Amino acid sequence: MKKLLFTIIASAAFLTMNLSNANAQYKNALGLGVDFGNGATLVGPSFKHFFNSQGAGQLELLFGGNSTRLQAFYQYHGNITGADGLKWYVGGGPGLNFFSAGPYDRTDFLLIPQAGLDFKIPGAPIQMNFDWRPTAFIGDNSDFEAGRFGFGFRFTF
């Protein structure tokens, strides 16, 4: 599994190197998203698109802990003076969590605010982000998990 993941990431890096611009701003990024903290760790594909210099949308389809989760976020970004490629952001959005464990199948609606940092490595087609994303589960078993975080590793184009 690790070799397959490494091969996929290395191939994507090679293919996107010529598509990326060399400055710290990027338009699109595709890669791996991780949602972790209290509860299960979820991993899957993640896509981020900038609508303008400050507004971006992010979409994730994550798997783990008997769950499949679809999340969509809108983020407002601001520059950090003196730190090329580093931006702060706040935002959030909805999600759907499909949980399946035998007779305990259920679907929860999620409300997920975010606050984090986005870093595009200058001169390289690599972007990373880290955020705090407390998650409210709304459904038959409503819950709130304050200790949830997100990490993304993506290739820009």
* Unique residue bearing structure tokens 């952001």: 89
Q: What is the pLDDT of residue 72?
A: 98
Question: Exposed, middle or buried by CB within 10 Å (0-12, 13-18, 19+), for 62?
Answer: buried
* pLDDT, tens digit (0-9, with 9 covering 90-100), for 42-64: 999 999 999 999 999 999 999 99
**Closest Cα partner for 12 from 126, 92, 110, 98?**
126
Contacts for 75 with CB less than 8 Å, ≥ 6 apart? 55, 56, 57, 58, 89, 90, 91, 114, 118
* pLDDT, tens digit (0-9, with 9 covering 90-100), for 4-24: 555 555 555 444 443 333 345
- Residue 111, pLDDT above cutoff 90: yes
Task: State the CB neighbour count (10 A cutoff) for residue 17.
Answer: 13
